[in-house]
A and B are shown apart, each in its own frame.
Chain A
Amino acid sequence: DGGITQSPKYLFRKEGQNVTLSCEQNLNHDAMYWYRQDPGQGLRLIYYSQIVNDFQKGDIAEGYSVSREKKESFPLTVTSAQKNPTAFYLCASSIPSWALNTDTQYFGPGTRLTVL
C-alpha cells in the first residue's frame, strides 16, 4: 500500500540526548515536511524539502536538523539544543504545486516524543 510511515509511534528521551525520528514515503512525492503539534495549537512547520539533497528551515527550526539523502526518506533529529522538545511530530509529503492538482499534503501517523 502507498503511504507515509513514521517510526517509532512513541519515543522517550532523556534530557541532553539527541534523537532521530523516521519518516518514509512510497508515494513517489518530491516534497516532504516536518510539523510539530503542541496541545491547543495547530501544526507548525519545522523543516521542508522540495528535492533530494535540499531542504529549508520552517518557522521553528531551532534545535532541529534534517537530511534528505533519498527521495523516500526525510529523518528529523531533535537535538539537545531544542529547549522544549516534548510534542507530537507529523511528517507529510506532496508533489510540488506546479503539477496539476497536486498541492495537497498527505500526513503520516505521527510520533509522540516525550523528554524525561
Chain B
Amino acid sequence: AQTVTQSQPEMSVQEAETVTLSCTYDTSESDYYLFWYKQPPSRQMILVIRQEAYKQQNATENRFSVNFQKAAKSFSLKISDSQLGDAAMYFCAYRRSRGGSEKLVFGKGTKLTVNP
C-alpha cells in the first residue's frame, strides 16, 4: 500500500523569507501524481501544486515550487517570499495514475506559521 510521510508536524517562517516543507512517499508504481494541498483555518482544502511523476521538470506556481526526486521518493514544497496568508496546514498527497478515479493518499500534514 502507498504511504505518504510528512516528518515536520510544525514549521515557522518569517514573512518574506523562504521555507521548505518535506514529504516522502512509498510506492511500487512508476506512474503517479503528487500534490500539495493547503488547508487554512476555514478548513477548505485548496490545491497548491501538482506534479506528474513522468515529468522530470519540477512544477512551479508563482511563489510555490517543488523539488521532486523520484529515485529518493521525495517531494518537497518550497514557498518563497512567504506571506501571512500562507499560514495553514499543508498536506502532501499521492495518487496513482492507472484507471479512472483513484483515491488520494494523504500525509498527516505540516502546520505552517508565518511570523510578521
Do A and B pair up? The answer is yes
Which chain A residues (59-116) contact chain B, with CB distance < 8 Å? Answer: 59, 88, 90, 92, 94, 96-98, 103-110, 112
Docked CA distance A29–B63 (Å): 29
Residues in A with CB closer than 8 Å to B104 are 33, 35, 43, 45, 92, 105
Interface residues on B, range: 20 to 34
Interface residues on A, range: 20 to 34
Contact A110 to B103, CB < 8 A, known contacts A41-B108, A42-B108, A104-B35? no
Instruction: Report 29 cross-chain contacts, Cβ distance below 8 Å, ordered by A residue.
Output: A30-B101, A31-B101, A33-B101, A42-B91, A42-B93, A42-B107, A42-B108, A42-B109, A43-B45, A43-B91, A43-B106, A48-B101, A50-B100, A59-B103, A88-B43, A92-B45, A92-B104, A97-B99, A97-B100, A103-B50, A103-B97, A103-B102, A104-B47, A105-B104, A106-B47, A107-B46, A109-B43, A110-B43, A112-B43
